[in-house]
């Protein structure tokens, strides 16, 4: 179970929780987006998580996927802790316009930065890249994810010198940056939260 499952998923509204399930048929455009995304990975060592991802079947029944049982739109993508390896992330995820839950933690992204387009998945409420072997700068446009309630970027080789984007996450309830080098941004971050507490 991914870290989003432990904390973030309980933050979703009761309505959306009861709507997660198997629709009669998934959206074809979203199925094709998932298949393009799958091609980002070099291999699946155990052939488990992608075994069910058959183009001829209903993508709402694929492992790691949950859909709205009325509209068929994909709400959840959880590929956490399957030792998947990738050198990039296909931007086809942008086709999943109703995605609220994305957990890619515990895989190996070969030290790539967080894709900038993640900041355009506007409906996300839960995002976890815990221990996903990402590196570089965290894109400031993650601050566009105003619905985000759970964010876990821990245990990656990120370098953060600007925390201003965090203040834009108006709905954020859980933030995990364990093991991330904050540099000079640490004192700024602490100072802003202390000022908020004292006001």
> What is the tens place of the pLDDT at every residue in 167-179?
899 999 999 999 9
For residue 20, which of 102, 75, 80, 79 has the smallest C-alpha distance? 75
pLDDT value at residue 163 = 85
For residue 171, which of 112, 123, 128 has the smallest C-alpha distance? 123
pLDDT value at residue 164 = 86
> What is the tens place of the pLDDT at every residue in 41-100?
886 555 578 989 999 999 999 999 999 988 999 999 999 998 899 988 999 999 999 999
Give the domain range for residue 26. Answer: 3-198
Examine the pLDDT at 34 and tell me if it is beyond 50: yes
Burial 27-42 (b: 16+ CB within 10 A, else e): beebbebbbebbebbe
Tally of structural domains, the chain? 1
pLDDT value at residue 48 = 77
> What is the tens place of the pLDDT at every residue in 133-143?
999 989 999 99
Examine the pLDDT at 191 and tell me if it is beyond 70: no
pLDDT band, very low/low/confident/very high, at 185 (cuts 50, 70, 90):
low
Find all residues with CB under 8 Å of 54, minimum gap 6, and list them: none
Cα torsion 155, 149, 142, 162: sign: negative
Q: How does the average pLDDT of the chain come out, rounded?
A: 83
| 72, 77, 82, 88: CA torsion to nearest 10 | 120
Phi, psi of 20 (to 5 degrees): -70, 130
pLDDT value at residue 128 = 98
pLDDT value at residue 160 = 81
Chain center to CA of 84: 15
Q: What is the CATH number of the domain that holds 119?
A: 3.80.10.10
Pick the range with the lowest mean pLDDT from 14-23, 44-53, 161-170, 182-191.
14-23
């Amino acid at each position: 179970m991914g870290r989003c499952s432990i904390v973030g998923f309980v933050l979703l509204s009761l309505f959306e929780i009861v709507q997660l399930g198997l629709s009669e048929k998934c959206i074809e455009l979203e199925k094709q987006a998932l298949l393009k995304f799958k091609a980002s990975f070099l291999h699946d060592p155990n052939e488990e998580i992608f075994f069910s991802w058959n183009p001829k079947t209903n993508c709402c029944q694929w492992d790691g996927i949950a859909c709205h049982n009325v509209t068929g739109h994909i709400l959840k993508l959880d590929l956490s802790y399957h030792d998947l390896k990738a050198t990039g992330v296909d931007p086809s995820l942008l086709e999943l316009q109703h995605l609220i839950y994305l957990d890619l933690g515990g895989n190996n992204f070969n030290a790539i930065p967080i894709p900038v387009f993640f900041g355009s998945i506007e409906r996300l409420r839960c995002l976890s890249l815990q221990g996903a072997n990402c590196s570089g700068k965290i894109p400031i446009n993650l601050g566009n994810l105003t619905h985000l309630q759970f964010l876990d970027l821990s245990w990656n080789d990120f370098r953060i010198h600007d925390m201003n984007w965090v203040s834009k996450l108006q709905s954020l309830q859980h933030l995990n940056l364990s093991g991330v080098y904050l540099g000079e941004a640490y004192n700024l971050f602490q100072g802003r939260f202390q000022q908020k507490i004292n006001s």
